[in-house]
Amino acid sequence: MCRVSLAAKPLAGLKVLELARILAGPWAGQVLADLGATVVKVERPGTGDDTRGWGPPFIGEAAAYFHACNRGKASLAIDMAKPEGQAAILDLARDCDVLIENFKVGGLRQYGLDYESLQAVNPRLVYVSITGFGQDGPYAQRAGYDYILQGMSGLMDITGDPDGEPQKVGVAVVDLFTGVYTSTAVLAALRQRDATGRGCHIDMALFDVATSMLANQGMNYLASGVSPTRLGNAHPNIAPYQVFAVKDGHVIVAVGNDHQFLRLCEVLEADYVAQNPAYATNAGRVAARHQLVAELDPFMRSLTRSGLLTALEGAGVPAGPINRIEDVFNDPQIVHRGMRIEIDGVPGVASPIVIDGVRMTAQTASPKLEDKV
């Protein structure tokens, strides 16, 4: 279990109004709640956030999915289509520091809850709009979904077996990255407000985030003009940096430099591979990737998973197993770090943020849906 601090957290006193559902906006709200902000989540009366029903499995009244991204919040069921509901939200926004919404572009204007309307009553408000494609551009009116954005951004085209179909990541990674980028943008906007006394409008687009996530692969294309392709579990810029089959399963070997490559060959007793001048540099190993892997493969297959991982760790060669989710939560390092938590009888995964030895995880579970207006 993680340690609990009685001292005020970094964002204690910050008030956040969340008009967001599904994952990207709620993930940002949960990050802020973990850091100490007071987060009030506004939901539809009756059903609430869509993810409350995204099960099984369920924990109490809500699906595990909902609990994954709504820890530490309060919830109010408000019908914003009604004048009294709009008035209630306006009252909440008047006293808030941050508002997070993920309606379609212009969707809140009909209720008088758009940025311009709320900025007029609360000039210090940091107003965050999360959409699929941003507040402008030819796709601005389109709905955005993580799965679709993984495809449109090229992420799926570089993920999966080169002889198979494109693959999405096993979690909604674009939504999650958008949530983290959003929380970072919020903190920057609050710092700016300290200097100017005024809030601002933050425009977060899932397509923008997914494109920025291309990282080295995006730069590979921009530098070469050649569109990267799927390499399965291999790395486009480093070799050998991939999954290898062993006697009883698979291991990941992640050789990052020439010295690590030589030590890998020592562990495998593959002297002739180490002495091949074609493999002396990473650039050479990438160019001769297929030949190199074919030569290393029989050495790998002669060893057990535990034996190889132990030997590589002793030699300082980065390597690791491919765990099931069950294995992760029973891993001694994860147990030691307190990443598996339980709050009010609800299991969960702790925040990865640790400040001065204290893990920044909210101390209340996801909220029940409370009627308001």
Catalytic residues: 175
DSSP 8-state code for residue 129: E
Residue-wise DSSP of 226-239? ------TTS-SS-S
Going from the C-alpha of 202 to that of each of 134, 198, 312, the distances in angstroms are 10, 13, 46
Determine the distance from the C-alpha atom of residue 237 to the mean position of all C-alpha atoms in its chain, rounded to a whole number. Answer: 23
Specify the 3-state DSSP secondary structure of 188. helix
Could you tell me where the DSSP H helices lie in 197-331? 206-212, 215-224, 258-268, 271-274, 282-287, 289-301, 305-315, 325-330
Beta strands in the chain (DSSP E): 15-19, 38-43, 58-59, 62-63, 73-77, 98-101, 126-131, 200-205, 241-246, 249-254, 319-321, 340-343, 346-349, 354-355, 358-359
278 contacts: CB under 8 Å, gap ≥ 6: 284, 285, 287, 288, 291
Specify the 3-state DSSP secondary structure of 113. coil
First-to-last C-alpha distance (Å) of the chain: 38
CA atoms within a 13 Å half-sphere pointing along the CA-CB vector of 29 = 37
Query: Tokens 């956030």 identify what position?
Result: 49
